[in-house]
Homo-oligomer: A and B are copies of this chain.
């Protein structure tokens, strides 16, 4: 899971490429051109294009795990944690459009089992964190418990994904963090006891 400077450069450039114009734009040619090296040079650093995609996912997962660890260790009410987590995520996507573009496009990763497995894991991990927070919130009597933590987290995840998707389709023409705050208000109203 450790990447060299060049490997990171390649991965990041690949992410940008995908974010910009979709997976079809991620070709070795475009990639190498954007970096400024020869096509064949790419193969010094990654065995194949598939490995670059795996690299993207692994980088993303690492990042998310870091975020989640921070969150778990945080001392705060469940409400604060949940808000914190969602707003942080929106901020992250707003600052890293490319990642947003890549991570919610399961389609891109359908060709290979290793890829779809990774995407699935990332989704699961994420859900687990939210479920954890909500369960805690229910036990602390902050959140309603007539809906299971799992179902609740499902609704939240769905909304999160949809807002990011719409933001992408709208070509980033609205303020994601702003809309994210509005969404949080809704979610808060819905989950609080």
Contacts and interface: CB of A to CB of B under 8 A. Distances in A.
A22 B151 contact: no
Contact of A190 (B24, B111, B116, B147): B147
Interface in A147-162: 147-148, 151-152, 154-155, 157-162
Interface of A: 21-24, 105-108, 110-111, 116, 119-120, 123, 146-148, 151-152, 154-155, 157-163, 165-166, 168-169, 182-183, 186-187, 189-190
Given A22-B110, A106-B165, A106-B169, 9 more contacts: A21-B110, A21-B111, A105-B105, A107-B108, A152-B186, A154-B162, A155-B187, A155-B190, A190-B190
Nearest 7 pairs of A and B residues by beta carbon: A158-B158, A158-B162, A158-B159, A151-B186, A22-B110, A105-B107, A107-B107
